[in-house]
Amino acid sequence: MTFIVLDETRRNADLRDRILGILDTVAPHVAETTGLPLPAEVRYRLLTPKAWREEHRKNYDRVLARDITDLELTPAEIDGTRAELKVAGIFPILVWPLMLANTHRAADGQRETIIAPKTWRHAGLLANEPALYQVVAHELVHHLQAEARRGVIWKTFFPDKRGMGDIPRSSFTFVLEGHADWTDRQVTTRLFGTPADHRQAPKSWRYRLHNGLPGIRHLGPSREAYEQGAVLIAHAVDAHGTHGVNRIWKDVSLLPTTEEIADPGVWARRLSV
């Protein structure tokens, strides 16, 4: 198991070292809590806000490029998606002070977490040690999830063409973020006695300004995705243990329906079949 933290800002060597230390601490707890193996290598990158926004944009371009390679798309479908991505290009500009981290597949095919340290300052994380552990652990969970579903594509602009048309898009978000949220609560409770909550850290005026923009919260995962998603996972783990939950990474048919998201007990019962 190798952790790599790259300070591409060249101004955050101390934070780089803090993250490395946190990863060493939380990794065994994350693996034990989730029942998922750690990848051979985990990479975090510290970026300027401009570089973070560019990487965020490139990630969506890579998703489309993979869809074009894998699927039989019409020119109209490709052009339409490119037009949507162009419009969506304003998204990183609006949300970068709010996005604590993003984990995706990089240009070299490796999974990585990108972080803008300025975002962490605006979000109040640098003065809140439990919140730092929470966010680092949360993103590490996404690495384990990706490793568990290796070879199974969840992120696509054409779910119908990948046989996922019947699955609500919210299902993916609720499971991915809910599972990571449930895990980071378990891990920080072990380490600090109570679950950490980065939302309680004092926010800068810029964070509050962006967070107050009309409709801004519709541009990313909702708070409900984290909180109700965590309830969803907790019910399933209580009923079947982590082994039962971890079947979902290779079988998208097990993802919850809209009705099951609202009633986690129903989903837990279906996982027992």
The helix/strand/coil state of 149 is coil
Q: What is the pLDDT of residue 233?
A: 96
Question: Does the CA dihedral 107-112-116-122 come out positive or negative?
Answer: positive
Integer Cα distance of 7 and 20 in angstroms:
11
* Cβ atoms of 36 and 150 closer than 8 Å: no
**Cα-based distances in Å from 102 to 11, 53, 54, 96, 139:** 20, 11, 12, 10, 8
pLDDT at 223 over 70: yes
Task: Give the DSSP letter string of 69-136.
Answer: HHS---HHHHHHHHHHHHHHTTHHHHHTTT---EEEE-TTS-EEEEE-HHHHHHTTGGG-HHHHHHHH
What is the overall mean pLDDT for the chain?
Answer: 93
Q: Give the residue extent of every domain in the chain.
A: 2-153+167-271
Any idea what DSSP says for residue 66? H
**Please, where are the H alpha helices in 193-252?**
205-211, 223-245
Mean pLDDT on 231-240:
94
Integer Cα distance of 25 and 22 in angstroms:
5
pTM: 0.95
Integer Cα distance of 57 and 186 in angstroms:
32
* Cβ atoms of 85 and 41 closer than 8 Å: no
> 21-72 pLDDT, tens per residue?
999 999 999 999 999 999 999 999 999 999 999 999 999 999 999 999 999 9
CATH number among 2.60.40, 4.10.1110, 1.10.390, 1.10.3470, domain 2-153+167-271:
1.10.390
> 86-118 pLDDT, tens per residue?
988 888 888 889 999 999 999 999 999 999 999
Integer Cα distance of 107 and 62 in angstroms:
8
* Cβ atoms of 61 and 85 closer than 8 Å: yes
Mean pLDDT on 2-16:
98
Q: What is the pLDDT of residue 210?
A: 83
Bridging pattern class, strands 41-46 and 111-115: parallel
